[in-house]
Each structure stands twice: as C-alpha cells, then as structure tokens.
Structure 1
Amino acid sequence: MSIKHLISGLNEFHDNYFVSHRDLFQQLSHGQTPEVLLITCSDSRIDPNLITQTQPGDLFVIRNIGNIIPPYGSLNNAEGAGVEYAVQALNIKDIIICGHSHCGAMKGLLQIGNLAQQMPLVYDWLKHYAEPTRRLVLDNYKHCPSDKLLKIAIEQNVLIQIDNLKTYPIICSKLHSGQITLHAWIYEIESGEVFAYDVSKKQFELLNRSFAVPNSLIGVHSE
C-alpha cells in the first residue's frame, strides 16, 4: 500500500465517515472516556477497533512488538506510563492483553540468537522483557513440534504480561478493591476468532456468545 493510497483514504474518511459521524467527533473533541485498555502487538494484521467493532473513543490502546508490558520499575517504560495514565486518569475498568497467532516477535524469541546481529534493538527488547516466556517454553515444552511451540509461546507470553501488570502498585491496589479486571486474549488471524483465558479451566477458550465472562476474569487479588 502506497502513501498515495493512504492520502486517498484520508480524503474518503473526511468526506464520508467523518461527515456521517460528526456528532461523535464533536463529542470526542471535549475529552475521552474509554472503559477498556487493550494492549496488543504492533503487527499490521491486527486492528483492535475492527475486531471488536468499536468506535473511536471506546478503547485506549497500547501497542508494541510482542504485546509486552515491562515489570514495574523498568527504565524508559513508556508502556508503564500508558497503563498508569489509563487507570489513574481515565479510570479504566478492564485491561485486556491480546496476543495473536503467527506472532513474529514470539518466532524471533524462540530463535533469539539470530536477532542479535540483524535487529539488535529487537533483540534487546525481547531479551530484556520476554526472557521469562522463552525460558518457560523451552524448559518445559521443547519436545513439541515448532508450530505447537509457537502457539504455547504466544499463550504463555500473554499470561506472563498479565503477571507483569500486577507488579504495578496502582494495578495491585485496584485489583484488591475490585475496581479493575484483567483479561488474557489470543486473536487468531486465520479464523477471526478470539480465545480468552478461563481461570477455572486453566486454558484459553473460544470467546463467543456462550462464553461465561466471569470465568475469564483473572488477576483477582488473593491474600
């Protein structure tokens, strides 16, 4: 897709979508009130508003390579600043970490030695903040075929990022008082389906109309 195509799209947006939703954008010009923070990958195949069928202003979104949230106290943590702002300033009620199938970051993580020369910044990012995922997967599932190993890495990475979220004082406090809920999702590109982690079953289950949402809630504080 060329820049000319993007400019054409901008004009189409302004002349059609914007005009038909002018009241919405007028309202948004006075501030934002999203109730959901969605943390996902930078991958171009994922469009948070498209797959959730939400409007501008409905989601506060953080994106990076591998949908990673560095633990609290990490240096230069823009993701942490985004989480803090979403929870403190916007009073977010739900946080979703959404991984996806065929994740290039997780493929790279499983063969991280190959990244050091070609993409040193990607290597540093994954080595510093996704090493727990790599170690867990390779120590416990190295007998699995490569496609299965990748799927496990994608799932475990999302759950580890949920654990990282819990290291933030504001998240810990809100979880304790029941003011916030954490959700772990996997978006499957080839099927358009989303799988949510069900705590009671300790596995990812298809998120559809019959999904028992309370069972998907994770991060409830325990003494």
Structure 2
Amino acid sequence: MQSLIDHARTFHKRVRGDREQAATLREGASPQAMFITCSDAQVIPSLITGARPGELFELRTAGNVIPPYRLGRLTAEAATIEYAVNILGVEDLIVCGHTHCGAVQGRVRSWTLRSAPTTRWWLLQTHRWREARVTGDEEPGRAHLIAQLDKLRRYPRVARRLAGGRLRLHGWFYEVHTGVVSNYQPETGAFTPL
C-alpha cells in the first residue's frame, strides 16, 4: 500500500511536468472510446491501449458484465453506457474480456463463487448463463465476451448509432499470461490478433 500512497503523493508533480497532459486535463475529457472490462487488477486499460488521461471512458465490473437493457431498470452500467454514447458521443465501444477471469470461472464451476453470494446473484441476474456454452478446451471467457456484446447491441441508443454508422463495437480478448489482445470477428466467429 505504501508504494501506492507514495505514487499518489507525487502524481501532481508528474502531471505538472507534462505540459501537454496538463493542457488536456484542463480542457476536459473527450474520450476516443469507451472501454468496458473486468475489475480484475491484471487488466489495465490504459496499459493495454497506451491511452493517456482523457482518451478512454472506462466501465469496470466483475466479469465485464453488461446487464440486459430494460426500460425503467436502473443500473450503474446502463447509466455509464448511456452517458458515454449520448453525452460524450464516443465513436467506439470496446468490450474486453480476459483469460483466468474469476467471474467467468464462476459460471463454469459454480462452487467458485460460493463464498461470494452477492457476486453470484448479480452474475445470475445479468447473464444468460446457459446460452454461453463452452465446449472442450475453449477459453470460457470468449463465449462470455460474445454474450456481453450481444447484450450491448440491444441498448436502444447503441443499436441506433450502430445502424447509422456512427458507432463501432469491438470485442477484445486479453490473454493475461502473454499480453496478446485478440479481436472478435462476428462474421466468422473467430478471434484474431489485433
């Protein structure tokens, strides 16, 4: 913890020393993309993408879960997606899954989340577990990622902007142990390296 505190104490000096970054922060954020990913500490969006402050609008949840859209149902995830699309006008939505995801493992091995009943309930309420089947040695996080992309396409404003060509949807999969990031190809169902 002390290293985190030390870094936070001196952060203002690094920002002040980087005139370009300081100017960007004064002007306010104008993110290029929204990055939806897992809360896992091994997944660091700015490290993966090289984004500087203000370039990514992030949403992090256990298992990069996106709840199904339901009119009148308030969730922090839906509000964050709405803000990114309607207010910030992001042109790209990236949903990034990863290997060794505890939430996804909870789907594959139900005993994994026995000691986290709130997490288990949340995942069961927001995901159609049985529709994201995994066969053989396939990485379960990939099927999970595809299910999240499908749910995101059903958000009305996302659907309208996708149909109008004003928004692009990307499914990325990050291999924690290698650093390789693959992109989901909906036409073929394959994941190819970026």
TM-score by length of 2: 0.92
Partner of 2:79: 81
1:43-192 correspondence to structure 2 within 5 Å: 43-73=40-70, 75-113=73-111, 115-116=113-114, 118-130=115-127, 132-137=128-133, 141=135, 144=136, 148-149=137-138, 151=139, 153-192=140-179
Indicate the SS of the match to 1:204: strand
Change (3 A) 1:135 1:171: closer
Contact 2:65 2:126 in 1 (8 A): yes
Uncovered stretches (5+) of structure 1, i.e. residues with no partner = 208-223
Contact 1:40 1:98 in 2 (8 A): yes
Q: Is the radius of gyration larger for structure 1 or structure 2?
A: 1
1:7-26 correspondence to structure 2 within 5 Å: 7-15=5-13, 17-26=14-23
Pairwise CA RMSD of aligned residues? 1.7
Amino acid of the structure 1 residue aligned with 2:133: V
- TM superposition shift of 1:54: 1.2
Indicate the SS of the match to 2:133: helix
| Structure 1 CA distance for aligned equivalents of residues 106 and 38 of structure 2 | 14
| Structure 2 CA distance for aligned equivalents of residues 135 and 168 of structure 1 | 19
Aligned residues: 193
Amino acid of the structure 1 residue aligned with 2:132: L
- 1:118-159 per-residue CA deviation (whole Å, 9 max, x = no partner) reads 2110111111123x2444316xx2xx2xxx25x1x2001111
Contact 1:95 1:183 in 2 (8 A): yes
- TM superposition shift of 1:201: 2.8
Indicate the SS of the match to 2:60: strand
- TM superposition shift of 1:114: 5.0
TM-score by length of 1: 0.81
- Identity across the alignment (%): 35
